[in-house]
Amino acid sequence: MSTLNKNPRIIVALDFPSAAPALDLVSEFDPKLCRLKVGKEMFTRLGPAFVEKLAGKGFDVFLDLKFHDIPNTVAAACAAVADLGVWMVNLHASGGTRMMEAARERLETLSHRPLLIAVTILTSLGERDIAEIGFHGAPADNVIRLAKLAEDAGVDGIVCSPLEAVEVRPLIDQDFLLITPGVRPASASLDDQKRVMTPLDALNNGADMLVIGRPITGADDPLKSLQAIQDEIAAYSWS
Ligand code: C5P
């Protein structure tokens, strides 16, 4: 973990309905400039072959499937993800300690071991939403509680908003990864994101890597947009 190279710190979220526009975009990028995230939509439409194609081009791929099931099933699914040559995989911390430990233990037996990341509380959920499903208190308090549970289960980090990263960072190990979506360059549209930070602020507030989609994928010149963000965080990233 401590030897992990956090650069490049930008993970581009490939949220496209088909392979062609995603592959066109990726053909402009270099694995030294960014990593790639594939989520449920693209994986469900295009399957493992698409993921293997991206990995085959030399990109680190974060397969964002957010597993949540019985420990044996999640452990087996994580092993299947590892076989695709994926760099990072995730599960829900609310699946519990035994589920997270089972996934971690299974991955530890493999020669290629993807990083294992836990989702704490989805940023789409407010206090009333989480109360409905039996969580008490503010979302941020639950994020902290689940972050600690994930750390104790030996996973490598969590996904959280940059605003939560500020609160979580002092309470967990420095090597525990904080992966943050909800990042917007100052000049970009917010799209449907509400609680956002600029890339540099997110890093200064404790994030290790940034998931950024539409400010790059929807730009007239995606490579230029990616490079502009890299320039913005360069002083932080390579120091
Ligand atoms: O386009 P945008 O930068 O908003 O994309 C952010 C990506 O991060 C999307 O793939 C979205 O599903 C994901 N994400 C998020 N908020 C979370 C978890 C994941 O925006 N809490």
CA-closest residue to ligand 1 atom 19: 181
Distance 180 CA to ligand 1 centre (A): 9
Rg (CA), the chain: 17
Say if 118 falls within a structural domain.
yes
Residue 72 CA to ligand 1 center (angstroms) comes to 28
pLDDT of residue 141: 95
For the annotated catalytic residues, the residue numbers are 66
Pocket test of ligand 1: the residue of 211, 216, 217 to mutate, having most ligand atoms within 8 Å of its CB, is 211
* Residue 149 within a domain: yes
CA dihedral for 103, 120, 39, 35, sign (positive or negative)? negative
Q: Determine, yes or no, domain membership for 4.
A: no
Which pLDDT score, from 0 to 100, does residue 239 have? 52
Read off the CATH number of the domain in which 130 is found. Answer: 3.20.20.70
Domain extent, residue 123, equals: 10-236
Structural domain contains residue 2: no
What pLDDT, on the 0 to 100 scale, is given for residue 2?
46
User: Is position 1 within any domain?
Assistant: no
pLDDT of amino acid 42: 98
Could you tell me whether strands 209-212 and 157-159 are parallel, antiparallel, or unpaired per DSSP bridges? unpaired
Residue 196 has what pLDDT? 81
Atom of ligand 1 lying closest to residue 161 CA: 21
**CB of 39 closer than 6 A to ligand 1?**
yes
Please identify every stretch of the chain with a pLDDT value under 70, giving residue numbers as ranges: 1-3, 237-239
Write the single-letter amino acid at 177.
L
Give the model's pLDDT for residue 238.
53
Residue nearest to atom 16 of ligand 1 (CA): 181
Q: Is residue 5 part of a domain?
A: no
Return the residue matching tokens 């890597």.
209
| Total domains in the fold of the chain | 1
Whether 3 is covered by a domain: the verdict is no
- Identify the DSSP state of 172: S
For residue 229, give every residue at least 6 positions away whose Cβ sits within 8 Å of its Cβ, in sequence order, or none: 10, 185, 199, 212, 215, 216
Tell me whether residue 77 is in a domain: yes
